Amino acid sequence: MVKKKGYTIAMAGKGGTGKTTLAGLLVRFLKEHEMTPILAVDADANSNLNEVLGLEVGETLGEAREMMKKDVPVGMTKDIFIEMKVEQALVEANGFDLMVMGRPEGPGCYCAANSLLSKFIERMMDNYPYLVVDNEAGMEHFSRLTTKYIDLLLIVSDSSRRGILSARRIYDLVDELNIRVGRKYLLVNQYRDKLEGLVTKETGTFGPDSVSTIPEDDLIYQFDLEGKPTVELPPDSVALQAANEVFEKLLIEISE
């Protein structure tokens, strides 16, 4: 199979489910399988994908939106200014780049700024064979900033009934927003064996081939407490092993 250009994977899920950790592990998987370069986009208002990936972030695009309203240099058009800010906000790493969307801090309409950002982000996406977007719980943010087709939507839940119901709402919201999605897949994270009955019951509407579980892993908590990038988990991490199995099942064929 010919490698597909611009393959887009979006992550969604309510806060606390571990979706950002899984987004980082997905970037690691793509790198290890030479599916590069990757553009990782942190579109979550509570931005911390950079910490999972072990990167420092300077500017965000939310700050660029603020500046565009009042601080565009004399003689520079807004188009040129926002393009410059997009390039400055890009954090370059080995095999992938990271862009943090952030959010505007002040009141007012950001329609014009979002429109310009959308245009330049779309253009940047064309330079990357693989795109990983870590979204907020909802999908509105993605729908505002890009019209790009999502090849794979990974909806992350914890192993509680409330978490899975929240994932179901996100699943349905995609259709309401008319976002074009090739495949939707549920990842039940922080899974424990004794919850098997509950998870099986509550995930039935997703279909048997659209759900996988990622076990609870003390190493993830340890890395978080010690401030270590989760992307550096050792090979014996049970969560890493399970995530890699899922990613291989869903993605490896597109690189062949």
Express each pLDDT in 55-102 by its tens digit: 998 877 777 777 776 777 777 887 788 778 778 888 999 999 998 877
The tokens of 233 are what?
């988990």
Quick: pLDDT tens for 159-208: 887 888 888 888 888 777 777 888 889 999 988 765 565 556 666 667 76
Strand duo 96-100 + 7-12: pairing: unpaired
The tokens of 163 are what?
């978490």
Domains of the chain, by residue range, sit at 7-255
Examine the pLDDT at 224 and tell me if it is beyond 70: yes
Identify the weakest region by mean pLDDT among 13-17, 141-145, 157-161. Answer: 141-145
pLDDT number for residue 3: 42
The tokens of 38 are what?
């990757």
Quick: pLDDT tens for 39-51: 998 887 677 899 9
Q: Which of 51, 26, 28, 47 is nearest to 227 (CA)?
A: 51
Residue predicted with more confidence, 175 or 11: 11
Average pLDDT across the chain, whole number: 81
Give Cβ neighbours of residue 247 (< 8 Å, ≥ 6 apart).
25, 26, 29
Q: Which of 216, 203, 156 is nearest to 19 (CA)?
A: 156
The residues pairing with 187 across neighbouring beta strands, listed in sequence order, are 156, 212
Give Cβ neighbours of residue 14 (< 8 Å, ≥ 6 apart).
137, 157, 163, 166, 167, 170
Tell me the average pLDDT across 4-23: 86
CATH label, 7-255, candidates 2.60.120.960, 3.40.50.300, 1.10.150.250, 3.30.360.10 = 3.40.50.300
